[in-house]
Amino acid sequence: MSSLPRASWWGFALYGVAALVHVTALAIGADAVAAPTKLTLMPLLAVAVLWAGRGSQWGRPYTLLFCAIALSWLGDGAGTFFPFAPELPMMLLCFGLAHLCYIWLFWRILAVRRLPGWAAVYGVWWVGLLLVLWPSLGALLVPVAIYGLVLGGTAAAASRCHPLIAWGGAFFLASDTILAFRLFTPDAMPDWTSPLVMITYCLGQGLIAAGVVLAERARTTSPAAEPEAEPEAASA
C-alpha cells in the first residue's frame, strides 16, 4: 500500500484541530462557537484531500469524494442553507445523496476484496434500528428506513475497501445511529451524546477521506494500473 510523505497530512491535522474545537464547544454548551465551526469542517476536509492528493490524476474517485464532502457540508448546514424547507428532511436528502456517492466510489471503484461475511451485521443493524425506533418515527418511517438502507449500504461497501475506509464507514454509521436516537428518543439520550455524534462523524469522514487518498494512490501506482506499452515500443 502506497504511503504519503508526512508533510502531506498537515491538512488532516488542521481538520482534526477544527473538529476538536467544535466538539469541545458542543460539550461545554458554547453554541456561538459550535455553530460556525461545524460549517468549517467539510471545507477543511476538502482542503486536506486536495493537499494530500496533489500530484494525483483527477478522475472519478476524487470527483465522487468531493461531491460527497460537498453534500455532507450542505447536510451539516441544512438549517442555514435551506431556511425555506424543513431542516430534518433536507438534512436526510443531502446526506442520502452523499452516501450514494460513497457507495458508488467504494463498490465500483475502490473495492479490493469481496464483501466480507461480517458485513451482515449492517443488515442486522438496519432491522434492529427500525424495530426500536418504529413507535417514534410516525410519518418519517419510510424516509428514515430508506436513509438507513443507504447508510448501511455505505458501511457495507466500505468494508470492501482500504481499512481506513472500512473504519470510516463504521464510524459514520455509529454517528447517524446515535443521532437517530437523539432525534426520535431524546428523553432516553444523555447530553454527552451530542458531542459523541460529532466525534464519530468527524472520525468517519476523516478516515474515509484519508483512506480514499491512500487507496487511489495505490490503485494508480500499482503495476496493474500502468498503461500497456504500444506494440511498436515493445518491439523496439
Rounded CA separation 3/17 (Å): 22
Indicate whether 200 belongs to any domain: yes
Q: What is the mean predicted confidence (pLDDT) over 86-98?
A: 92
SS3 40: helix
Average confidence score pLDDT of the chain? 89
Whether 226 has a pLDDT exceeding 60, the answer reads no
Task: Say how far apart CA 78 and CA 95 lie, in whole Å.
Answer: 10
Residue 3, pLDDT score: 67
12 exposure class (CB count in 10 Å sphere: 0-12, 13-18, 19+): buried
**Residue 117, domain extent:** 58-219
Average pLDDT over residues 177-206: 93
pTM: predicted TM-score of the whole model, two decimal places: 0.89
Domain contains 105: yes
**What's the number of domains the chain is made of?**
1
Q: Does residue 26 sit within a domain?
A: no
Stretch 18-26: mean pLDDT, rounded? 97
Structural domain contains residue 52? no
The answer to whether position 100 is within a domain reads: yes
